Amino acid sequence: MKAFYAEEQKRHDPKAFLSSGAPQPNPEKPERIERLLAGARSAGLTIERPGNHGLGPIAAVHTPEYLDFLEHIFARWQRIEGASAEVIPNIHPIARNGSYPASAVGQAGYHMADTACPISAETWNSALWSAWSAVEAADAVMAGAPSAYALCRPPGHHAFADVAGGFCFINNSAVAAQVLRRQATRVVILDVDLHHGNGTQGIFYTRPDVLTVSLHADPVRFYPFFWGHADERGEGPGLGYNLNLPLPRKSADAAFLDTLTTAFQRIRAFAPEALVVALGLDAFEGDPFGGLSVTTPGFSRIGEAIAGLGLPTVIVQEGGYLCDALGDNLTAFLTGFGGKQG
Ligand SMILES: [Zn+2]
């Protein structure tokens, strides 16, 4: 299986993060890349550099004003006297029915959901290359590869069409799905990250051509709180094309695999022609977020089960934070997936 990644993705290095109001080091560190690269190589993957695909495939799922914001906000922020070194919002519209603000502070609040996605000088460039890794993987699958892996970092599944959040800026899984739609009539995104893929859900919520399915820790007491509940099923023509499968905290392999079976029933009924796996590895029992208790062999079985769908598959890296087994968990998933896929 081919894997895609560009060195520029390492330059985004967020410092700040508020957890329950307390300043903490941001866990979405560039070092994640080293661990994930090692994990991909251990699974026998060859790493290639993606091409520059321009804004086209990104603008297909994000709004022009949001992309303009991401590109220019850091330079604008630097001109504010006394502003923080990284762009971090401190005011948000409580509903999105007000005016679009002209100021950098107002736009930061409008386009950033939380304090976990600080923007620095390198953020835009890293996010672009992360998205292009996803585009390149989708292109490889459309060209006939049975599967491809995109080492996307920064991750993407908390990014809505016009809002960053939870370490995410450009929604790489959504970008990949939209690229696959050039050939496939129906595409499914299966999100196995610890956290609900709220941005992905939001982007496709009214569409019946991209089925979004997410397994995650129950958001009743877990990020992203406002989304990820079982009663969110889509809207308008998209009604019935979003499936949320929240799991009780600390659920382990058996519960995860069992719930995956429920996901597969819906996916098979949808009869998709291509699959995007939003692969978070933070459901791991030893992940610093500690929400679920999937084991390393569990990731292998999850990979094997997903390969059993027999679909052309783009695997997009989402979460998974620094712990000793991060690389091993990726190796386990990819080995399980590849073994079953043959
Ligand atoms: Zn996550």
Q: What is the mean pLDDT of residues 119-144?
A: 98
Residues facing 277 on adjacent strands: 190, 315
Q: What pLDDT sits at residue 116? A: 95
Residue 16: pLDDT band (50, 70, 90) is confident
Task: Cite the DSSP H helix spans in the chain.
Answer: 31-42, 56-59, 64-78, 104-111, 123-142, 172-180, 198-204, 253-270, 296-307, 326-341
* Centroid of chain to Cα 105: 26
Contact 148, 137 (CB under 8 A): yes
Dist CA 41 CA 46 (whole Å)? 7
One-letter amino acid at 38 equals A
Q: What pLDDT sits at residue 84? A: 95
DSSP designation for 234: -
- What's the token pair of residue 29? 């560190």
Dist CA 41 CA 157 (whole Å)? 24
Residue 107 alpha carbon to ligand 1 centre in Å: 25
User: What's the pLDDT tens digit per position in 102-130?
Assistant: 999 999 999 999 999 999 999 999 999 99
Poorest-pLDDT segment among 18-27, 71-80, 114-123, 280-289: 18-27
Residue 193 alpha carbon to ligand 1 centre in Å: 5
- Asked whether the CA dihedral 203, 206, 211, 217 is positive or negative, the reply is positive
User: What's the pLDDT tens digit per position in 79-97?
Assistant: 999 999 999 999 999 998 9
Mean pLDDT of all residues in the chain? 97
User: What's the pLDDT tens digit per position in 297-318?
Assistant: 999 999 999 999 999 999 999 9
Q: What pLDDT sits at residue 306? A: 98
Q: What pLDDT sits at residue 339? A: 77
Dist CA 24 CA 21 (whole Å)? 9
Residue 319 alpha carbon to ligand 1 centre in Å: 4
Q: What pLDDT sits at residue 66? A: 98
Distances (CA, A) of 52 to 10, 25, 151, 205, 243: 16, 31, 15, 29, 33
Residue 328 pLDDT > 90: yes
Residue with tokens 């060209």: 143
Q: Which residues contact 54 (CB under 8 A, 6 or more apart)?
A: none
pTM for this one? Answer: 0.98
Residue 256 pLDDT > 90: yes
Q: What is the mean pLDDT of residues 127-156?
A: 98
Residue 154 pLDDT > 80: yes
Residue 14 pLDDT > 60: yes
Residue 312 alpha carbon to ligand 1 centre in Å: 24
| Residues marked as catalytic | 158
Residue 185 pLDDT > 60: yes
Q: Which residues contact 34 (CB under 8 A, 6 or more apart)?
A: none
Q: What is the mean pLDDT of residues 137-166?
A: 98
Dist CA 312 CA 309 (whole Å)? 9
Dist CA 259 CA 146 (whole Å)? 25
User: What's the pLDDT tens digit per position in 53-70?
Assistant: 999 999 999 999 999 999
HSE toward the beta carbon, residue 112, CA cutoff 13 A: 22
Residue 116 alpha carbon to ligand 1 centre in Å: 12
Contact 18, 24 (CB under 8 A): yes
DSSP designation for 97: T
